[in-house]
Structure 1
């Protein structure tokens, strides 16, 4: 999930006429700019009279590159300066992808030689893949996509790296995807593949503008995922993974927690029924938020059902010992 934040101002054009200016904050990385620009372009198409101005900024996660993400000890490393994401756009493929070193072309994680080193900065990925592929070794790798691919291609430190498929596609690097990892290999992170736009609560007109970008299914899936993670009190320092899908007006969610080495895990699946009515409820005048998401064109009843599903699934895992697994994982991560 990526975020951009919007603010507004006014300016005069060459004829002295005041026009609407929307300032959109973005991380400085190439991928963040591509994603932010795509949202800005959609807004321009929908509202030609509006001018967008991109304001690039560095986040905590961008500034600290010599420490594993799980060791920094803060949440929202790449969104803190942009605040938590409130609005979502249509979701890309949320799955993880394997990018092989050129010398390993044609191979998969299953067929890589014993002790091959796989690069990933995610405890979630490493925990699941260690369990699934015990013949492989995993090592932390930091940097933006360009940097990680350069480290992979120009050195022999890694046989492959694991990246989000959505990021590779948005960068135009789909040809580098050697293998897509399904949920049987590696469930994805909460919100992965979804775009988010933060809007100040008082800017109701901006909320109206960006609401047309919502994809209802993406909103409901992300509400459930975020509720699950929040109730578990998870973050970068613990391995938590999800898989959601909507079929026949049913929202299905699988959630799991893992020990750092993947040897201990709890995974369960639950579902809930949806109305999938995109019309606003009669008499609704405020903007109820569900786990930080404001989605005016998505049924509030369905959002409440999705949030409850995430909480219920988290409670089920906690009743089966998830808290103990996560506590040990945090302690071991802090001690590394």
Structure 2
């Protein structure tokens, strides 16, 4: 019997979604007669240690995955469960995304103190978010709102809504749903108003490229439509060389023919004054992402991102 050590961050959300993945992998093992047991290993990442600075100021890529990836390269763990939106566009040599499970709701959502939606918030209302992407798009839509950074895990951000003077906070719907806290959501933000982060709502199951046992197991867990959509979004991100420190959003979905991918992407300034957005369709995900990024670059996206990066 093979014992697989699964790396995860130690936040409540990370442990919950990793536990859900392990349960499904155990079901696959039972169904296919694969003898395997699983053990969780909690790993603290740089992004978990630094909570008093916004992600955009911490800089760098892989803030929530680098230490986990190193543990995999060192043979301490065999696979890892990540939120796809935390994954850099380029993986370290020797590591691959072995599976992309079915995507959860990719939308952002708004949680307000008094139940008012985005359009009903009063002028000057204070909205908390740790994301330049969210603040860019919300300020573009409602320039009268005040945006302030709020860091921490989901539960601590929800507490800060009550204790630190915020009128609303913005979070990813997927995390709240996985935690069973969907009843806290006041309103969902459609992609037309707020494009999600690349890969938002999707998970990435990462492993070593030379571990055939794990690769074969994860292949049974992969959701092809989600994989294609996320690949298009990641192609877009990679071409723009994006990360947490720049306002970039993208969302792709497969159309009814099961082959055509529709991808929408945006690049903006943190204050929301400038925003570039385009939509394209194609059948090769990574090439589609690159083509859409090039279209925005032709419109000035590279100059805009260079301004943001300083």
TM-score by length of 1: 0.81
Q: Separation in 1 of the partners of 2:251 and 2:202?
A: 13
Q: 1:238 is matched with which residue: 217, 241, 246? A: 246
Residues 143 and 272, structure 2, Cα contact 8 Å, conserved in 1: no
**1:148 and 2:157 aligned:** yes
Instruction: Return the offset for 1:248.
Output: 2.5
Residues 279 and 292, structure 2, Cα contact 8 Å, conserved in 1: yes
Q: 2:236 is matched with which residue: 206, 228, 240? A: 228
Q: Separation in 2 of the partners of 1:185 and 1:150?
A: 26
Instruction: Return the offset for 1:173.
Output: 0.2
Q: Separation in 2 of the partners of 1:161 and 1:76?
A: 24
Q: Separation in 2 of the partners of 1:58 and 1:306?
A: 33
Any runs of at least 4 consecutive aligned residues in structure 1 with deviations exceeding 3 A, and if so which? none
Q: Deviations over 1:113-172 (max 9, x none)?
A: 11110000000000000010112110000000111111112x152011000000000010
Task: Report how many residues are paired.
Answer: 278
Q: Separation in 2 of the partners of 1:194 and 1:243?
A: 11
Say which one has the larger Rg: 1
Query: 38-47 or 21-30, which moves further after superposition?
Result: 38-47
Q: 1:318 is matched with which residue: 284, 297, 302? A: 297
Q: Separation in 1 of the partners of 2:164 and 2:270?
A: 25
Q: 2:39 is matched with which residue: 53, 73, 76? A: 53
Instruction: Return the offset for 1:195.
Output: 0.8
For residues 77-92 of structure 1, the aligned pairs below 5 Å read 77-83=63-69, 84=91, 86=97, 87-92=99-104
Q: Separation in 2 of the partners of 1:146 and 1:255?
A: 30
TM-score by length of 2: 0.88
Q: Separation in 2 of the partners of 1:244 and 1:198?
A: 21
Residues 28 and 220, structure 2, Cα contact 8 Å, conserved in 1: no
Partner residue, 1:41: 23
Partner residue, 1:72: 58
**1:173 and 2:185 aligned:** no
Residues 265 and 325, structure 1, Cα contact 8 Å, conserved in 2: no
Residues 24 and 53, structure 1, Cα contact 8 Å, conserved in 2: yes
Task: Report the secondary structure of 2:17's partner residue.
Answer: helix
Task: Report the secondary structure of 2:118's partner residue.
Answer: coil
Residues 82 and 198, structure 1, Cα contact 8 Å, conserved in 2: no
Q: 2:225 is matched with which residue: 187, 203, 217? A: 217
Partner residue, 1:194: 202
For residues 1-336 of structure 1, the aligned pairs below 5 Å read 19-48=1-30, 49-83=35-69, 84=91, 86=97, 87-101=99-113, 104-105=114-115, 107-153=116-162, 155-249=163-257, 250-273=260-283, 305-331=284-310
Instruction: Return the offset for 1:100.
Output: 1.1
Instruction: Return the offset for 1:82.
Output: 2.1
Which runs of 5 or more residues in structure 2 are unaligned?
70-90
Q: Separation in 2 of the partners of 1:127 and 1:25?
A: 33
